[in-house]
Amino acid sequence: MMLVDGMPSAQVSASDRGLHYGDGLFETMRLHDGSVPLLDRHLARLQAGCNVLGLAWPGAELLGRDVERLALPGGEGIIKLMITRGDGGRGYAPQPDAGCRRVAGRYPLPALPETGMQVGRCSTRLGRNAGLAGLKHLCRLEQVLGAAEVASAGWDEGIMTDEDGRVIEATRHNLFLVRDGRVRTPRLDGCGVAGVMRALVLEWCRRSHRHCSEDRVSWDELVAADEIILTNAVRGLVPVTDLCGRPVAPGPVGAELREGLAREGVVWLGA
Amino acid sequence: MMLVDGMPSAQVSASDRGLHYGDGLFETMRLHDGSVPLLDRHLARLQAGCNVLGLAWPGAELLGRDVERLALPGGEGIIKLMITRGDGGRGYAPQPDAGCRRVAGRYPLPALPETGMQVGRCSTRLGRNAGLAGLKHLCRLEQVLGAAEVASAGWDEGIMTDEDGRVIEATRHNLFLVRDGRVRTPRLDGCGVAGVMRALVLEWCRRSHRHCSEDRVSWDELVAADEIILTNAVRGLVPVTDLCGRPVAPGPVGAELREGLAREGVVWLGA
pLDDT at residue B271 in the model? 40
**Residue ranges of the alpha helices (H) in chain A?**
17-21, 39-53, 60-71, 141-153, 196-207, 219-223, 252-263
* pLDDT above 90 (res B47): yes
Distance CA B3, CA B245 (A): 42
Are A132 and B131 a contacting pair at CB < 8 A? no
Q: Which residues of B are catalytic?
A: 28, 136, 169
**Set of chain B residues whose Cβ sits within 8 Å of the Cβ of A28:** 90
- Please name the member of B11, B80, B94 whose beta carbon is closest to the beta carbon of A13: B11
Are B13 and A12 a contacting pair at CB < 8 A? yes
Residues A74-120 pLDDT 10s = 788 999 999 999 998 789 999 988 999 999 999 999 887 778 999 99
**Set of chain B residues whose Cβ sits within 8 Å of the Cβ of A144:** 17, 21, 23, 85, 92-94
Residues A192-201 pLDDT 10s = 999 999 999 9
Distance CA A152, CA A143 (A): 14
Are B19 and A11 a contacting pair at CB < 8 A? no
Helix, strand, or coil here: A194? Answer: coil
pLDDT at residue A267 in the model? 66
Are A127 and B132 a contacting pair at CB < 8 A? yes
pLDDT at residue A68 in the model? 95
Q: How far is B95 from chain A (nearest CA, A)?
A: 9
pLDDT at residue B111 in the model? 82
pLDDT at residue A219 in the model? 98
- Number of neighbouring beta carbons within 10 Å of residue B164: 11
pLDDT at residue B131 in the model? 93
Residues A110-156 pLDDT 10s = 887 778 999 999 999 999 999 999 999 999 999 999 999 999 999 99
What does the pLDDT average to over B55-62? 97
- Please name the member of B9, B21, B91 whose beta carbon is closest to the beta carbon of A14: B9
* pLDDT above 70 (res B172): yes
What does the pLDDT average to over B175-188? 97
Are A171 and B12 a contacting pair at CB < 8 A? no
Distance CA A253, CA A229 (A): 9
**Which helix or strand (DSSP H or E) is residue A241 part of?**
strand A236-243
**Set of chain A residues whose Cβ sits within 8 Å of the Cβ of B127:** 127-129, 132, 191
Are B11 and A12 a contacting pair at CB < 8 A? yes
* pLDDT above 70 (res B24): yes
* pLDDT above 90 (res A263): no
**Set of chain A residues whose Cβ sits within 8 Å of the Cβ of B124:** 131
For chain A, give the mean pLDDT: 94
**pLDDT band at B90; cut points 50, 70, 90:** confident
Q: How far is A210 from chain B (nearest CA, A)?
A: 33
What DSSP designation does A34 have? T
Question: Residue B25's closest chain A neighbor by CA?
Answer: A20
Q: How far is B168 from chain A (nearest CA, A)?
A: 14
Are B20 and A107 a contacting pair at CB < 8 A? no
Question: Residue B15's closest chain A neighbor by CA?
Answer: A10
Q: Using alpha carbons, list the distances in angstroms from residue B67 to A186, B1, B74.
A: 47, 12, 11
Q: Using alpha carbons, list the distances in angstroms from residue B49 to A124, A125, A141, B53, B55.
A: 16, 17, 13, 6, 8
Are A139 and B141 a contacting pair at CB < 8 A? yes
* pLDDT above 90 (res A268): no
Can you state the angle between helices A60-71 and A39-53, rounded to 10 degrees? 140
> Pick the catalytic residue: A27, A124, A136, A227?
A136
pLDDT at residue A271 in the model? 40
What does the pLDDT average to over A162-172? 97
Give B177's contacts (C-beta < 8 A, 6+ positions apart): B183, B184, B185, B217, B221, B222, B225, B227, B228, B229
Residues B30-46 pLDDT 10s = 999 889 999 999 999 99
Distance CA A52, CA B60 (A): 39
What ipTM score was computed for the predicted complex, to two decimals? 0.96
Are A13 and B10 a contacting pair at CB < 8 A? yes
pLDDT at residue B96 in the model? 86
- Please name the member of B16, B54, B124 whose beta carbon is closest to the beta carbon of A19: B16
Strand-pair partners of A214:
A185
* pLDDT above 60 (res B269): no
Q: Mutating which of A3, A66, A78, A92 best tests the B interface, going by the most B Cβ atoms within 10 A? A: A92
What does the pLDDT average to over B196-222? 95
Residues B109-155 pLDDT 10s = 888 777 899 999 999 999 999 999 999 999 999 999 999 999 999 99
For chain B, give the mean pLDDT: 94
* pLDDT above 70 (res B268): no
Q: How many CA within 13 A on the CB side of residue A169?
A: 26
Question: Residue B55's closest chain A neighbor by CA?
Answer: A145
Q: Is A80 a catalytic residue?
A: no
Residues A219-231 pLDDT 10s = 999 999 999 999 9
